[in-house]
Structure 1
Amino acid sequence: MLAPVDQLADARAEAVLFDFSGTLFDDTGVLDPAALAAAAARHGVRLDETGAAEVIRRTLRHVDSPEGFAAREGCDLSPQAHRRVWTTLIADAGPFEAPLVEALYACLTDPHAWLPYPDTVPVLRALREAGVRTGVLSNIGWDIRPAFARVEVLDALHTVVLSCEHGLAKPDPALFALACERLGTPPGRVLYVGDDPAKDGAAVRAGLPVYLLPSERSAGAARGLAAVLRLVR
């Protein structure tokens, strides 16, 4: 869905800003039982994959509950806030002891655990080859740049704007304005691509046209990012 459409009716976008989680990188498979069991061992905790799967299930059930969502408010404004909020949520999900909490938090924020959608790398490379200025704007509490470097597309990004580095988070229009300034492109010519109608859709308040990806996702399936290539010069 593109909104508002009229902003791109006469001329296509000159630059693109992407959300990270759920847009370019898959957020559904980050916590893996084998990886958690290995991380737990490094923290002195004996945990087999069956036990790790149960820990993950209990954690996700708690953090994705209405109470968990409420507790996560403001967690992306700094790395310290992110660690404090998420380790508290993880601990309360068990309750789990500190070493296991640290192991799970390490898995959650491990750039190698975040995998791009099948169309992420091709689309970012196509934009780079077309000379389109491209960036990422994300509500996140840790540095995601290594995730892009690992799949060799960090050099395709002209800017990476993270909420935890600026003390601002979507839907604050000031964060979108900052990202456009970093791109050197007027907001009306910057297409914002995301998946959250509230936080990503708020880009329209800063003057950016928005392309929202479908909320439905299939494991291993392309995210629909190729459509972006038709919306830029």
Structure 2
Amino acid sequence: MSRFDAVLFDFSGTLFDDGNVMTPSGLQFQAAERGVLLGFDEASSLIRRARQRVDGPRGLAEREGCDRSAQLHREVWTRLMTESSNGFRDDADPGVLGESLYACLADPGSWPAYPDTASVLKTLHAEGLKLGVVSNIGWDIRPTFAELGVTDLIDSFVLSCEHDTVKPEPDLFRIACAELGVSPSRTLFVGDDPVKDGAAARVGLAVYVLPTDRHRDRPRGLDAVLSLAA
């Protein structure tokens, strides 16, 4: 008999790579859709500016808790990205550039899965375990799983923006277990953040935190989950 009845996964940095989401070509496409033509180097520069703004100390503080709703997430991130676009190019509206950057971030096709994501999900599903995704996120990530062709393997998506609560608060973990109809003591949570994801232990789940070192083109180390869940 398996040690667990279900496995819950974090999304960003666990199943899908969060380090290569906004790409120059992706931004070029989104900007062109909004009437702004960007060169490849221009797009690269704009992405660097945006990352410095949203991931800097002030940006991190300003977007704290914005994953509680899709509207709030969009408002906060678009504002920060628009601010990063001020003065970038005289003939380009910073607001349009901010919207283009946000669209690039939330594009389902922009999130590459780690090489071992699909195979591990398929193996766990084949072994009869229920699977769920619990994520602090500001938009619907189901289309990203559809792009990978694994949506039918996931029994529950519990997203912060749909429940007005964020990890490390315990509610998302409880909701996921309730939706799957499993006991927390028979559920494994897999994530990459010792604080936010590790909080699942407060609800009674077993927790496996992935190593911080990760690369888009290398397996994430998810095979370890197969051993833990056996």
Contact 2:82 2:99 in 1 (8 A): no
Query: Cα 1:11–1:35, aligned 2, differ >3 Å: closer, same or farther?
Result: closer
| 1-structure distance, mates of 2:85, 2:101 | 12
Tell me, yes or no, if structure 1 residue 85 matches structure 2 residue 76.
yes
Partner residue of 1:155 out of 152, 156, 162: 152
Aligned length: 224
Amino acid at match of 1:151: L
| 1-structure distance, mates of 2:60, 2:212 | 18
Tell me, yes or no, if structure 1 residue 141 matches structure 2 residue 138.
yes
Tell me, yes or no, if structure 1 residue 57 matches structure 2 residue 34.
no
Structure 1 stretches (4+) deviating beyond 3 angstroms? none
Write out aligned runs for 1:74-223 (5 A): 74-95=65-86, 97-223=94-220
| 1-structure distance, mates of 2:34, 2:165 | 33
> What is the Cα deviation at residue 62 of structure 1?
1.3
Tell me, yes or no, if structure 1 residue 23 matches structure 2 residue 14.
yes
> What is the Cα deviation at residue 131 of structure 1?
0.7
Which string of whole-angstrom CA distances, capped at 9 and with x for unpartnered residues, describes residues 105-162 of structure 1? 1000001111110000000000111111110000001000011111111110110110
Tell me, yes or no, if structure 1 residue 72 matches structure 2 residue 63.
yes
Amino acid at match of 1:118: P
> What is the Cα deviation at residue 218 of structure 1?
2.2
Contact 2:168 2:199 in 1 (8 A): yes
Contact 2:114 2:216 in 1 (8 A): no
Amino acid at match of 2:170: P
Contact 2:6 2:129 in 1 (8 A): yes
Contact 2:112 2:216 in 1 (8 A): no
Contact 2:34 2:96 in 1 (8 A): yes
> What is the Cα deviation at residue 11 of structure 1?
6.9
Could you tell me which runs of 5 or more consecutive residues in structure 1 were left unpaired when the two chains were aligned. Answer: 1-9
- For the residue of structure 2 that corresponds to 1:52, the secondary structure is helix
| 2-structure distance, mates of 1:219, 1:232 | 24
Find the counterpart in structure 2 of residue 45 from structure 1: 36
Q: TM-score, length-normalised on structure 1?
A: 0.93
